[in-house]
Amino acid sequence: MALKRINKDSYYRFNDLNYRWISLDNWTYSKEFKIPFEISKWQKVNLILEGVDTISKILFNEVTIGETDNMFNRYSFDITNVVRDVNSIELRFQSAVLYAAQQSKAHTRYPVPPDCPPLVQKGECHVNFVRKEQCSFSWDWGPSFPTQGIWKDVRIEAYNICHLNDFTFSPIYDKSAQAWNLEIEATFDVVSSKPVGGQVIVAIPKLQTQQMYNLELQPGKRIVELFLNISKNITVETWWPHGHGNQTGYNMTILFELDGGLNIEKSAKVYFRTVELIEEPIKGSPGLSFYFKINGFPIFLKGSNWIPADSFQDRVTSELLRLLLQSVVDANMNTLRVWGGGIYEQDEFYELCDELGIMVWQDFMFACALYPTDQGFLDSVRAEVAYQIKRLKSHPSIIIWSGNNENEEALMMNWYHISITDRPIYIKDYVTLYVENIRELVLAGDKSRPFITSSPTNGAETVAEGWVSQNPNSNYFGDVHFYDYISDCWNWKVFPRARFASEYGYQSWPSFSTLEKVSSTEDWSFSSKFSLHRQHHEGGNKQMLYQAGLHFKLPKSTDPLRTFKDTIYLTQVMQAQCVKTETEFYRRSRSEIVDQQGHTMGALYWQLNDIWQAPSWASLEYGGKWKMLHYFAQNFFAPLLPVGFENENTFYIYGVSDLHSDYSMTLTVRVHTWSSLEPVCSCVTEHLVMKGGEAVRLYEEPVSQLLRRCGNCTRESCVVSFYLSADHELLSPTNYHFLSSLKEAVGLCKAQITAIISQQGDIFVFDLETSAVAPFVWLDVGSIPGRFSDNGFLMTEKTRTILFYPWEPTSKTLKASKIIYTNIRKTGYGKREMATGQ
């Protein structure tokens, strides 16, 4: 692309197919370079490759020095005897697609499914035979771009006496002594022919801690283990997840003063926190709990699932990472699951999660497949896992290791139609890979956080059943993944009352401004060749329209472009409302057992971000623009939230708190008719005590009584809104409950909404005024990067002020303009104009 050999961006229209030839070719990377120092003065010279994608032979000065077969490993090659002042280097790559096919063909004892992805994904086959980003061969939300090349840094290291290869550490809390310790591990390559003596000084100034150690390093590869004690008389501030406290870290220096005047100094940020995965009996329910304690406090994990931010990692900049991760905490999330079909993310990702207080559920990179267990494959995996544990274990944000994504479920629910007589072969392979190899390495390399073999899994019950459960998606153990596109998502009874929901979600299309960049005018319809090509989930476009049609009239404009834009908007409304309903169900289920099920302590919807511009489950579009779902998440993940729902024709409101303390507050419940901005009735409860870290019932009233109390209300003519407050100060978002489908709403009329737009510093202020109640009001400034303070909201008051925060300075002016907004009303979308701020 940089050389203009291909003219359009790889994401433009059908270029995932047009550029397929690139990944099927073999490519050679070569370079000539001069060493900027005197070679003869150094005992050891190494070539370090931080990341090679994936299958390559390496020639240095025309001498083969090694090979690579794992995208996730770091490689080091001794070039002492071949390096010169002027050098040539070649990396001869083999197509990962062709290599995977060869490996699969060579595995003749039995098949290792799946062979190929579903045809709708337009992907490549046998990705489970190559240690490479699994989704690079395609997924149901992403394209097939099996890249090949040097994807991380390359460097040459030269040294005498000895060299520090790796340095890592783990804070450990000693409960009996009530004190913190630090386990430090340093790996050296000693090239001296004699032992190397010296001392080590470890210092954490803000903790008034300094300790000195004597050491002697024998020739060869050596590991130094140090144990730093921190006095229990010194107050250590712990690292907390976002919304629960500060992310305090301490600067640490470690200085090795060695023989021959060799000084090696390293610095790092040290965070102190404990994490426990609690699996214990629950009164009134069979099975076991599944929740996390951070620093001894039970925390409800709320967030999403992270996938690679681009098919081409070169394009994942520091700015993009910060934008996406800032959007996580801005939406009141505290957790991301780094999904097992992508990559172990770059160092900066985890550093930002440490800084922002985002807990990370870290999968190992195995997903939706069975895997071979021949010795060569296992050796490569063991090197990968050992390296990643060493690289990542110092990050407090990572709270759990998980062996794979959905592979236990794939095996035990027989996704690949394996005969019952052959299943023991695959179970043996499964245990070999995830238990006897990966788990063994985790237990040896990191004692500071828990490990589970899969997600979903039954946790301790899976272990008891021999590492595979008969039903890995049980509501009584571990975590679940749940998807249902046929049942009505407004009906909370279709969702599992599980211990922990680590995947669930619904699709939507990205905004027109995002799609416009990679499409042409002929593509702008829901049934175009482009729209069908971009949808990689079987039946996905029909499922979206079906789910939307349960509660909304579908667009019927005579203008095809208007219909396309309205359909995009409606899929986002549907997705946001569906995920809101499901997430609120999980949050209000944290403190109760109903029909022997409940105590849900985590809700991670699928998925946070997009890898390209296409329909998906994401709440952030490619590039970071917020979909309606992400604005909804900001509210449904709020630390204090009232949740409304119906059961047996009775309306309930639960209060959900993630706070550590109890608070006194009142609940205000209002009912509006669709035809009036004045509430027909309103009630305020007596003072309630909202218990910290619980979900409790605050309000209940039969719907028939509510309607009678509010004058001439019917289910179709009225809508309920409610919020928590104290001393006239709002403590929660204003939530709402629809008493009927909006396509059946009576009195819902065309709302005239005007916007007066002004600027205060870098922020744009939208002063809105409406003529009528308006649901799902959507503000859009096209391709200007930034976010609103709220969006997709129910407007029940005549005026409302919304802020727009640009992500970068903009020269564009948002002119004061009249916004014409037509509600989602019974007669459809014939006259609806897009709400816009331009």
Active-site residue, from 124, 133, 345, 406 = 406
Q: CA–CA separation, 553 vs 2, rounded Å?
A: 46
Q: CA–CA separation, 58 vs 221, rounded Å?
A: 24
- Look up residue 671 and give its two tokens: 């009912």
Q: Specify the long-range contacts of residues 311-319, CB closer than 8 Å, at least 24 apart.
A: 311/10, 311/11, 311/136, 311/142, 311/143, 311/145, 311/147, 311/611, 311/612, 312/10, 312/145, 312/147, 313/147, 313/151, 313/343, 313/346, 314/151, 316/346, 318/348
Q: CA–CA separation, 3 vs 16, rounded Å?
A: 18
Active-site residue, from 124, 384, 503, 584 = 503
Q: Which amino acid, 372?
A: P
**Whole-number CA gyration radius for the chain:** 29
CA quadruple 428, 432, 438, 441: dihedral positive or negative? positive
686 catalytic? Reply is no
Residue 262's H or E segment, with its range, is strand 262-270
Residue 28's H or E segment, with its range, is strand 28-34
Q: How does DSSP classify residue 554?
A: P
Q: Are 358 and 329 in contact (CB under 8 A)?
A: yes
Strands 301-306, 335-338: pairing is: parallel
The Cβ of residue 725 has, within 10 Å, a number of other Cβ atoms equal to 15
Q: Are 823 and 835 in contact (CB under 8 A)?
A: no
3-state secondary structure of 321: helix
- Strand boundaries in 536-624, DSSP class E: 593-594, 597-598, 602-605
Looking at the DSSP bridge assignments, the partners of residue 593 are 598
Peptide bond preceding 114: is omega within 30 degrees of 0, i.e. cis?
yes
503 catalytic? Reply is yes
Q: Which amino acid, 61?
A: N
Strands 793-795, 817-821: pairing is: unpaired
Q: CA–CA separation, 615 vs 602, rounded Å?
A: 26
- The catalytic residue positions are 406, 503
